[in-house]
Structure 1
């Protein structure tokens, strides 16, 4: 099958020079995707993996706690791809109003991501379809505070942007001119709403992600929003009951290849290589999420058993332990507030949890001590480790 450019180049004039900007053809792809038996099989496997992941959310004793941490892990990873230096512990400390060990803007960016995802899911629950309005609203939250807040949050760009390089003339990729953005996004919205034809949801997520990244409709935050789009689509279409699938870790691990595949779609229409990669990302990521959930379940049941051996101190210590599962970095003050126990009882429980090796103190001070449920954070942090400076 002969390959072809998936769009057209237009000449733009900006910063005193001419450059070629790429305007993608609307979806679905033309010529249609070549569904080899191998590719079809890969997509079937990916759907099975999603089914397993969805059923795990029914096994978890409290799905919201797992989601709470999982969303934060994704926020850290997705922001890391953009060069942000923030760990999961930094984010949890920031949410506690303690001092994170990295620049405040980095953690604020990650915190915005959590808020943006929660806002998007809330709008979907209220019945707002996945639409340009919803994407703009999420973007407004994503760039509300910190870096990027001066780059028109919640509005499609009115000026030219580019990827890589110092100007459009030496960029790795130049997205459509600003006056073409609304039309391109309007066609993407139609595709999301099954026009001109219905598209199976996993395939729709894979195609829409590339299209969104190619249009690059905002001045900042496109990468993070394009990755969120995948999860929001799976949740809106009820493939997942809970937002438990995030591909950022896989994209981060295969970053160079990921960018290469996006470019090959644009230049020669090689959708098949991208779809193979995307299906593999879903299989690997969903399997990892199932394993993580299982490890957290095992850890929690082992640690509860340890606490049950404490005799009379068991009920209050279990109460503090439960609060630490909900927020694995906490201060004794926040635990008093959360549990309703007296400061003396909370401190005694923390002492027991320390002796049992469940809790570690992060500070060596008399007041405002910070405690960490270290093994829980360790399981959740896999893949988010910051490279050593």
Structure 2
């Protein structure tokens, strides 16, 4: 539906250049959303896929084992959209106090994303609403190291910014002036918290994401916080028990369409076109997550069958494989903590797992402080990110 412009333009100065900034109208859209026809059909498909994703604990012995790695994959993908070069292996190496193969700032930014998401979910489970306080706390966690420390962590911006173009009057989009941010966010906060009326969680997440990206309240980190907002809303609503829905891969793959539809909402009021894209993103992403969980479970079962060939070492190797299923990159110290086995036993079992079965791979090439990866596990996680 083409409603026309969904806000108003106001004159502003950005980078010393006069331009027009866009201030969005409060949600929900007016006239109301038209949830019918193919949009209703595809929304139903998305809800079914979300139900399967929420039931993922039935597919894995411990959903938290999957969550650990899946959250990190999302952190990598969301940060890559913003220009970092860190990979999943780089992040896990960094967490093991190893040396990543990319600039330290890149991997620190990805690590901060993991911390920000974890903090947001923790606050929601403590009963905090999605509010200014929660949002700025999450933003502060996101920007606590790497390049973010100089970019106003935990604070709404105080100056005018623009998106795209080398100068503001040629930008693809100019978000609201700083003196409008408080009012814009207050209206969005009310909408997220169902004031004055309730909105279905998936629709709320879809609309709130666009509105947040339009407000662009921070100097930096808006894209990552806007993407984090989606699983936080669904966890708060009880649609998902764990924050397992991450749309960064889909948004990155369809980047041009994503940005075009955001702008189309602002200029034409076509929320329904955006919703079609969003529910397709949910369905595709949730179905892929379930398939990934099934593939990981199958991999572990198949690899455990191969351990019988190791004879007396098979029992120790089984414990090590279980530990690597929880944390697919580990050093001997971490495996001692996880399994209770001695370093000597772990060393022998790792040699057998690498040299005889090819299940693990040593990453550093060093004789000391070696780090081992469950390579096939990481390959499965990376499949849809290529």
- Normalising TM by the smaller chain, what interval? over 0.9
Q: Is the 8 A contact 1:88 1:384 kept in 2?
A: no
What residue in structure 2 maps to residue 253 of structure 1?
A: 253
- Whether 2:152 is the aligned partner of 1:120: answer no
Instruction: Show the 5 A alignment for 1:320-331.
Output: 320-331=320-331
3-state SS in 2 of match to 1:194: coil
The two structures have a TM-score, normalised by structure 1, of 0.96
Map of 1:334 onto structure 2: 334
Cα displacement string for residues 306-348 of structure 1 (whole angstroms, at most 9, x for unaligned residues): 1244332222211111221122112223323332222210111
Partner Cα separation in structure 1 for residue 22 and residue 92 of structure 2: 41
Query: Is residue 382 of structure 1 aligned with residue 383 of structure 2?
Result: yes
Cα 1:2–1:63 shift into 2, 3 Å: closer
Cα distance in 2 for partners of 1:151, 1:336 equals 40
Q: Does 1:50 align with 2:68?
A: no
- Matched residue, 1:361: 362
Which has the higher mean CA deviation after the structures are superposed, 356-365 or 156-165? 356-365
Is the 8 Å Cα contact of residues 205 and 234 (structure 2) preserved in structure 1?
Answer: yes
1:350–1:15 CA distance, 2 compared to 1 (3 A): closer
SS at match of 2:38: helix
Give 2:312's aligned residue: 312
Q: Which residue of 1 aligns with 2:276?
A: 276
Q: Secondary structure at the match of 2:149?
A: coil
2:2 and 2:268 in contact (8 A); partners too: no
CA offset at residue 2 of structure 1? 5.4
**CA-CA distance at 1:357 after TM superposition:** 1.8
Q: CA deviation at 1:366?
A: 1.8
Of residues 275-284 and 325-334 in structure 1, the stretch that sits farther from structure 2 once superposed is: 325-334
C-alpha distance in structure 2 between counterparts of 1:178 and 1:265, whole Å: 21
2:61 corresponds to 1:61: yes
User: Aligned residue for 1:239?
Assistant: 239
Q: Distance in 2 between matches of 1:281 and 1:44?
A: 13
* Distance in 2 between residues matched to 1:16 and 1:212, nearest whole Å: 25
Match of residue 348 from structure 1: 348
Superposed CA deviations along residues 89-142 of structure 1, whole A, max 9, x for unmatched, are 000111111111101111011000000000101111111111121111100000
Q: Distance in 2 between matches of 1:270 and 1:349?
A: 59
Matched residue of 2:148: which SS? coil
d(CA) in 2 for partners of 1:218, 1:148: 11
Query: 2:204 matched to which residue of 1?
Result: 204
Map Cα deviations across residues 281-315 of structure 1 (whole Å, 9 max, x no partner): 00100110010000000001111111244332222
**How far does residue 58 in structure 1 lie from its aligned partner after superposition?**
3.1
Mind listing any 5+ residue stretches in structure 2 that lack a counterpart? none
Residue number in structure 2 paired with 1:36: 36
Determine the structure 2 residue equivalent to 1:188.
Answer: 188
CA apart distance, 1:3: 2.5
Structure-2 separation of matches of 1:233 and 1:2 = 27
Residue 130 (structure 1) aligns with = 130
Does the Cα contact within 8 Å between 2:14 and 2:162 map onto a contact in 1?
no
CA shift, 1:166, in A, is 2.5
Deviation at 1:170, TM superposition (A): 1.9
Q: Deviations over 1:268-288 (max 9, x none)?
A: 101111000001000100110
Distance 1:132 1:34 in 2: 30
**Aligned CA-pair RMSD:** 1.3
Q: Which runs of 5+ in 1 are unaligned?
A: none
In structure 1, C-alpha distance between the alignment counterparts of 2:224 and 2:261, rounded to whole Å: 18
Which is worse superposed, 134-143 or 32-41? 32-41
Which range moves more in the overlay, 255-264 or 361-370? 361-370
Q: For the Cα contact (< 8 Å) 2:13–2:160, is it kept in 1?
A: no
The yes-or-no answer on 1:25 pairing with 2:25 is: yes
